[in-house]
Amino acid sequence: VEITSKIDRIAVVGGGGWGSALAIVASQNFKVVKIFTRDAEVAEEINTKRTNECFIPGAVFPQNIIAVTEGKDLNDCTFLINTVPSQFIKHHYTEKQINLENKYIINGSKGIDTELLSTISKVFKKFYDVPKHRFAILVGPSHAEEVVKGLPTTVVCASQNMLFALFVQENLCTPAFRVYTSQDVIGCEIGSSIKNVIAIAAGINDGLGLGDNTKAALITRGLAEITRLGVAMGASPQTFSGLSGLGDLVVTCNSIHSRNRGLGERIGKGEKTSDILKNQKIVVEGVETAKAIFNLSQKIDIEMPIVEQVYRIIFEDKSPSLALQDLMARESKSEWY
């Protein structure tokens, strides 16, 4: 299938909040939108009640969205939007028998595979042989709750295949959902993943009762360390000043919707991470990302003080206030070193 031919359908894989929001956006431009979920009850609810109350309360699914639970149901879709959480991608498509041969993947999940220590584009390449020219990432400051309300949202679609990025731009854009294009896949992947770790730090700041000044410092110094790692991995520094870097970081660190910031807030108030995550149905991406990025930064010798402190709080039970103190006590120096 050539991507220039008339395409009337698209599939979203993953029936969570973000998958639902992207399906609702896509339903404005495509004739048919399939949404794949492993949860038969969710599929049933979407198909009959046109809602998904557990994952995105209040959202209404138009009639041209069809929820499916079998891999073969996606055979007629060439374009698949992935919203399966990052740690599950490598098994999910095999287990669910979703055939990825000749498919184009638009990835909407933000994270780093903790085993491979790699970004999602590499997971699709290694496990499903999806080549770079059939992979795109769609990220930016976009809380699902606001997207489904039709509040103005901007995102960036990055692919090494510029035609693919332009196709996504043209076909997912609506008056309230603007898609910019980029070719810096690794930059968009790094920025949109690590921001979840900085958001945990921002939440800890809130939980400890520290103020806006400290949070702004965490965001600023956080973006500096994200950029440092990204550039070492081949990204363009400019990408981190854009929607997938700064934009996504700002929204996540300040939003009441963010699970990562929310987790941090509870940690800051004294709860243990393991207790909070017990029995939780929703994945908090920043936790695994903190581990992956801490290990990666050690391996390639990049200084990432905020990621390191978040890692030590979550995985080594370091006291949050001591960790913040250690960050502030770093030697005064010139802003850029």
Residues marked active site are found at 195
Q: Which range touches a copy of itself (CB under 8 A), out of 74-82, 91-99, 222-230, 268-276? A: 222-230
Strands 112-113 and 153-159: unpaired
Does position 262 bind a copy of itself by CB under 8 A? no
Report how far apart, in Å, the C-alpha atoms of 31 and of each of 28, 63, 64 are: 8, 10, 7
User: Min. distance of Cβ 97 from a copy of itself in angstroms?
Assistant: 35
Work out the burial of residue 122: count CB atoms within 10 Å of its CB; fewer than 13 is exposed, 13-18 middle, 19 or more buried. Answer: middle
Please pick, from the candidates 217, 233, 276, 277, the single residue that binds a copy of itself as defined by CB under 8 A: 217
Does position 154 bind a copy of itself by CB under 8 A? yes
Does position 22 bind a copy of itself by CB under 8 A? no
Does position 146 bind a copy of itself by CB under 8 A? yes
Question: What distance lies between CA 30 and its chain's CA centroid?
Answer: 23
Please pick, from the candidates 189, 225, 248, 308, the single residue that binds a copy of itself as defined by CB under 8 A: 248
Does position 219 bind a copy of itself by CB under 8 A? yes
Please pick, from the candidates 212, 271, 303, 317, the single residue that binds a copy of itself as defined by CB under 8 A: 212
Does position 106 bind a copy of itself by CB under 8 A? no
Does position 147 bind a copy of itself by CB under 8 A? yes
**DSSP bridge partners of 179:** 155
Does position 270 bind a copy of itself by CB under 8 A? no
Does position 153 bind a copy of itself by CB under 8 A? yes
- Nearest CB to a copy of itself, comparing residues 111 and 141: 141
Q: Please state the φ and ψ torsions of residue 298, each to the nearest 5 degrees.
A: -65, -40
Cβ atoms of residues 61 and 52 within 8 Å: yes
Does position 203 bind a copy of itself by CB under 8 A? no
* Pick from 56, 55, 77, 71: nearest CA to 10: 77
Query: CA 284, 289, 292, 294 torsion: positive or negative?
Result: negative
Enumerate residues 6+ apart whose C-beta is below 8 A from 65: 23, 24, 27, 33, 34, 35, 46, 50
Give me the residues that bind a copy of itself (CB under 8 A), please.
140-143, 146-147, 149, 151-154, 156, 169, 173, 175-176, 178-182, 210-217, 219-221, 223-224, 227, 238-243, 246-248, 250-251, 254-255, 257, 324, 328-329, 332-336
